[in-house]
Amino acid sequence: LTKDRYPVRRGEFAILNKEHLQFFTDLLGTQRVVTDPAECESYNIDWIRSVRGYSTCILKPKTTEEVSKILSFCNDHRIAVCPQGGNTGLVGGSVPVFDEVVLNTALMNQIYDINDTSGVLICQAGCVLENLDTALAERGLMMPLDLGAKGSCHLGGNVSTNAGGLRLLRYGNLHGSVLGLEAVKADGQIVDLLSTLKKDNTGFHLKHLFIGSEGALGIVTKIAIQCPAKPKAVNLAFLGLNSFENILKVLTQAKRDLGEVLASCEMIDESTLEVCTDNLKLKSPISNFPFYMLIETHGSNNEHDQEKLNGFLEDVMGNGLVLDGTVTNEPSKMKNIWDLRERITEGFIQDGYVFKYDVSLPIENFYSLVPEMRQRLANDEEVVRISGYGHLGDGNVHFQVSCRQFSQNILNKIEPFVYEFTSKLRGSISAEHGIGFRKPKYVHYSKSAESIVIMKQLKEMFDPNGILNPYKVIPN
């Protein structure tokens, strides 16, 4: 357990023994305490198969009270705990590093209330995002967030990572839409912050500490979230362009011409689209271009929206900014187009090993990492592709370098260069995926020394024994 798989040492935590396991099975029953090594495997490996732990015990509580009793016991006995939702996280935060007990929220999947008038949904943390969206659709509502991992990720995982996704441009991030939450601290104390109010300035806004804290301060158990009306009209355009300069012009014009109906503005470069067309054999509705944009509108009147969208498209195609494009409001065609964007992560895995960077940059510099890195790695034959895509409307690029297999040589050429580059432009080295296990030592590129001290003080206050997600989020 202490062997040097990663450049970290196992903390002074207890090794799980029979008495510990007895406590867990007395509390949850044998069915909800997984110890079979084959069954434990999938909880130990992340979605992109980039990190693995060696946990021999997966706990599946159903209630807040059970979470509280587990944490109180673990805290008293110095047992390290890895909180886990759908295990779709991309920074190694959701799987143990060594033998931490995994506390998985899959069975905490109750929807308590959907209020048709206020649009507030209250549910447990383990509800799968897509299931919530389906339940809301029957009531004319939808989740304010959408991401490619929707079929697996849990709302508690989304809240804990402050997930962004494909419609943040229109509906904002979770600091805005989460109205309240309930969390359990490391010592088992239940913190009730489950407000459903839109306005509540009664002192410090404590819920925000749990939104995006990646399981380091507590386990989120319940959430109240503001859900918008499901749009009556949805239209999607897929456009081909020949330069990033033109992408910026089209973005500016989309914001002006589409105004309040603009819901998504994503971009994909040619090399990224190929992971879908070549690796996954998906079909693109238009021929090949150096860049593509997906622009989705959400509105309440299809005639009005189409008029706006068509006017905008006539303009950007007429003046040569967009070379080709297709527009649809047919659900199956929209799904085919969104697959080209949402399945990129899956497609990249087939290249081999992927060095992933999730960066916020000033919009003019959104794509600048790609040409810069192509130059730096021009003579490296190990590289399969260097590409960029992502949430253009939010200034969040997903920059990727894929190789047939992991290469220390390539890694040394990318890091810390990519972080220095981002920091110089006052960007963020993690726009939406978080810090997890992969990035604590790089936090200083985006956070001042004083902020890091406060992060450490908060960790000490919420989790003095450091049992929650050790080795992650907080820099040494």
Q: Which does 99 bind (CB under 5 to 8 A by kind): ligand 2HG, ligand FAD, none?
A: none
Using CA of residue 143, residue 145, residue 150, residue 154, what is the dihedral sign? negative
| Diameter of the chain measured on Cα atoms | 73
Distances (CA, A) of 47 to 91, 93, 214, 349: 10, 11, 16, 10
3-state DSSP assignment of residue 129: helix
The structure tokens 């419609």 sit at: 167
Interaction between residue 219 and ligand FAD (CB under 6 A): yes
Q: Which does 105 bind (CB under 5 to 8 A by kind): ligand FAD, ligand 2HG, none?
A: ligand FAD
In this structure, the number of other CB atoms found within 10 A of the CB of residue 34 comes to 20
Instruction: Look up residue 304 and give its two tokens.
Output: 């009005």
3-state DSSP assignment of residue 58: strand
Q: Which does 88 bind (CB under 5 to 8 A by kind): ligand 2HG, ligand FAD, none?
A: ligand FAD
Interaction between residue 370 and ligand 2HG (CB under 6 A): no
The 3-class secondary structure across 236-271, one letter per residue, is EEEEEECCHHHHHHHHHHHHHHHHHHEEEEEEEEHH
Residues 6+ apart with CB under 8 A from 158: 85, 129, 145, 147, 174
Total binding residues toward ligand 2HG, as defined by CB under 6 A: 8
Site for ligand FAD (CB under 6 A): which residue of 53, 61, 86, 427? Answer: 86
Site for ligand FAD (CB under 6 A): which residue of 50, 158, 360, 430? Answer: 158
Total binding residues toward ligand FAD, as defined by CB under 6 A: 37
Q: Which does 398 bind (CB under 5 to 8 A by kind): ligand FAD, ligand 2HG, none?
A: ligand 2HG
Between 124 and 158, CB nearer to ligand 2HG: 158
Q: Could you tell me how far CA 90 lies from the centroid of its own chain? A: 7
In this structure, the number of other CB atoms found within 10 A of the CB of residue 404 comes to 12
For Cα atoms 198, 430, 475, give the angle at the middle one, nearest 5 degrees: 100
One character per residue 329-348, x = contact with ligand 2HG (rule: CB under 6 A): ---------------xx---
Between 256 and 456, CB nearer to ligand FAD: 456
Q: Which does 83 bind (CB under 5 to 8 A by kind): ligand 2HG, ligand FAD, none?
A: ligand FAD
Site for ligand FAD (CB under 6 A): which residue of 87, 284, 400, 446? Answer: 87
Cα(256)–Cα(282) distance, rounded to whole angstroms?
32
Between 98 and 419, CB nearer to ligand 2HG: 419
Cα(80)–Cα(40) distance, rounded to whole angstroms?
16
Interaction between residue 180 and ligand FAD (CB under 6 A): no
One character per residue 428-467, x = contact with ligand FAD (rule: CB under 6 A): ----xx--x-------------------------------
The structure tokens 């088992």 sit at: 188
Interaction between residue 83 and ligand 2HG (CB under 6 A): no
Distances (CA, A) of 235 to 8, 255, 283, 329: 49, 15, 19, 5
Interaction between residue 90 and ligand 2HG (CB under 6 A): yes
Q: Could you tell me how far CA 264 lies from the centroid of its own chain? A: 16
Between 212 and 228, CB nearer to ligand FAD: 212
- For ligand FAD, the binding residues (CB under 6 A) are 47, 82-90, 93-94, 105, 125, 147-149, 153-154, 156-158, 160-161, 163-166, 214-215, 219-220, 345, 432-433, 436, 469
